[in-house]
Amino acid sequence: MSKTPSPRIFSGIAPSGVPTLGNYLGALRNWVQLQAGHDCLYCIVDQHAITNFQDPAELREKTRIMAAILIACGIDPEKNILFHQSAVAAHARLAWIFNCITRVGWLNRMTQFKDKAGKDREAVSSGLYVYPNLMAADVHAYHATLVPVGDDQRQHIELANDIAEKFNHDYGVKFFPRIETLIPPEAARIMSLRDATKKMSKSDPSDQSRINLNDSADTIALKIRRAKTDSEPLPETIAELKDRPEAINLLGIYAAVTGTTPAASLMQFAGSGFGPFKEKLAEALVAHLSPITAQAQRLLADQSYIDSTLQSGARRAAAIADPIVDEAERIIGFLPRQ
């Protein structure tokens, strides 16, 4: 298997909403840390976003907000490559090839498609169905070998490896390398503030279910005050929280933003009701997030900076991906482009 000399990192996030506290604690924070010591490509996957209808003006706005927030979180667009997917044609070119490699049976096993399509399987876009092929193309277009993602994306990465293996086998080459997933060590999974059995999601219809990374301090405090809880006081040990998912979620958030463990945080609030705890939680969240939201606001005030940053990222991304996808096309028998 051909290996790139130093592992290249690729990850993507869809501009289907404003990134949430869940995205931040589960993914973006990790993306920022990975910049030390790796070449990273971070992609705003607008082509993935349109697998569900997006209002065009809103899509433009959400793409810019996403870019501003990623930079405000600490993604360095000079050192690494930050860009929007649609600006690099190599993704769509390679995705088409992968559409012709992937077997329909493989796609039928994708649990995320089943979840997202629900009972409406006949009515969803065919883009949603082949979404994992585009995701595989995102990574393989750069010969990237390390992909930080949440646990829910593991199956898609396995599929990307199956696609690479079949391509290599069918054409008798060792062209696409194996990909490893990088699931963050304390893989924070932040749940909805309204229903702690559901993931906090930027596309949840209820805005009260999440903290957006552009919420004001007042909004954050209000959402935390209104977050669903039970009426019992907080116990002394995590074990006693077994059937209290809302409490576990809020404690997890508190621990993550204050840099402690849920167990240590619990000691601090044992015996008290949720009122005082929620107050401290809101304070801690605001302290942690307000520098990010303020910086994102400043960046967004200069739309041309955001657009030109993404465009220059896209040019640098294309310089890596174009020759790789040219070579994939040569391998399968397409005549040269020029």
Tokens 């696609």 map to which residue?
Answer: 163
Q: In what order do the strands lie in the sheet with 39-44?
A: 81-84, 39-44, 8-13, 146-148, 180-182
Q: Which is nearer to ligand TRP, 266 or 328 (CB)?
A: 328
User: Which residue is catalytic, options 62, 79, 114, 202?
Assistant: 202
Shortest Å, Cβ 132 to ligand TRP? 8
253: contact with ligand AMP by CB under 6 A: no
**294 Cβ neighbours under 8 A, 6+ residues apart:** none
Are 248 and 262 a contacting pair, CB within 8 Å? yes
| Helix, strand and coil in the chain, % to nearest 5 | 55, 10, 35
Chosen residue from 8, 9, 10, 196 binding ligand TRP by CB under 6 A? 10
- Alpha-carbon distance of 213 to 72, in angstroms, equals 10
Contact track, ligand AMP, 73-112, x by CB under 6 A: ----------------------------------------
Shortest Å, Cβ 331 to ligand AMP? 31
Are 144 and 9 a contacting pair, CB within 8 Å? yes
By beta-carbon distance, which residue lies closest to ligand TRP? 12
Catalytic annotation on 116? yes
Binding segment toward ligand TRP, per CB under 6 A, in 52-60, 145-153, 276-284, 312-320: 145-153
Catalytic annotation on 199? yes
213's enclosing H/E stretch is none
Contact track, ligand AMP, 13-32, x by CB under 6 A: xx-------xx--xx-----
| Active centre residues (catalytic) | 116, 199, 202
